[in-house]
Amino acid sequence: MVALKGDGVPKIVLITGVSKGLGRALALEMAKKGHTIIGCARSQDRISSLQAELSQHDQNPNHLLVAADVRSDSDIEGLARVVIETRGVPDIIGTINKNNKIWEVPAEEFETIIDTNIKGIANMLRHFLPLMVEKKQGIIVNMSSGWGRSVAAEVAPYCASKWAIEGLTRSVAKELPVGMAIVALNPGAVNTDMLASCFGSSASLYQTPESWAPNAASMILNLTAEDNGAALNV
């Protein structure tokens, strides 16, 4: 999920899952466009690596990267305290089960998918939406999937989580004040670890996160309150 604060440029962009894949590529692209990045991920080592890369190419002193787990309500509450006065709320999160029939997916693996893809977004909304609603501004983009609108065999937990995000997004859209928007965004097929776990070597036939990020960033930055409740595709 990505959320942007304010109407002008540069914007403040808070992205979860910035340690790899789409989150990392989007953070670097948004920074390249002159926006301030607030990011979080579970891995401190990967957070430090991204911080070093941002520092190498961008002298913006306002970027802030924090080790936090979206599955933990207390972690996100702490993150909200850090950014409460000046930051907005974006979130890109994603995890996928190994291809398997639902009855063969271990309980712990299923819970990880649900906790990250559904509860993680709920935690972000719980702690950041009140700040945005108070100012009646901001756009939230929940990262969905084509499998949030269709289905495939052996990825039932992932499909279930993304169908949930589509429903959550449409419901929350009806709760927001005029001037705000929340959308569900299907990024399309991108060669990430998640895609490789499903498609194997065929994942290399699809675009990289780095080639995906420019179009995705431009699309996100051009969203308005009129897009509230929309199900969109990059």
The per-residue pLDDT for range 154-165, each reduced to its tens digit, is: 999 999 999 999
Catalytic residue check, 206: no
Torsion of CA 45, 5, 158, 22, to 10 degrees: -50
Comparing 68-77, 78-87, 92-101, 192-201, the range with the smallest average pLDDT is: 92-101
Q: What is the pTM of this model?
A: 0.88
Domain 2-233 CATH superfamily: NAD(P)-binding Rossmann-like Domain (3.40.50.720)
Per-residue model confidence as pLDDT tens digits over 63-77: 999 999 999 999 999
Given the residues 36, 158, 168, 185, select the one marked as catalytic: 158
Question: Measured at the alpha carbon of residue 117, what is the angle toward residues 30 and 164, in degrees to the nearest 5?
Answer: 115
pLDDT above 60 (res 91): no
Query: What pLDDT does 96 receive?
Result: 55
> Contacts from 158-167 at CB under 8 Å and sequence distance 24+?
158/95, 158/96, 158/97, 158/113, 158/117, 160/114, 161/113, 161/114, 161/116, 161/117, 161/118, 162/117, 164/117, 164/118, 165/117, 165/118, 165/121, 166/231
The confidence band for 86, taking pLDDT boundaries of 50, 70 and 90, is low
Nearest residue to 157 (alpha-carbon basis) of 198, 196, 110: 110
The confidence band for 7, taking pLDDT boundaries of 50, 70 and 90, is very low
Query: What pLDDT does 93 receive?
Result: 35
Domain ranges of the chain: 2-233
The whole-chain average pLDDT of the chain stands at: 87
Write out the DSSP string of 155-215: -HHHHHHHHHHHHHHHHHHTTSPTTEEEEEEE---B-SHHHHHHHGGGGGGSBPHHHHHHH
Query: What pLDDT does 29 receive?
Result: 94
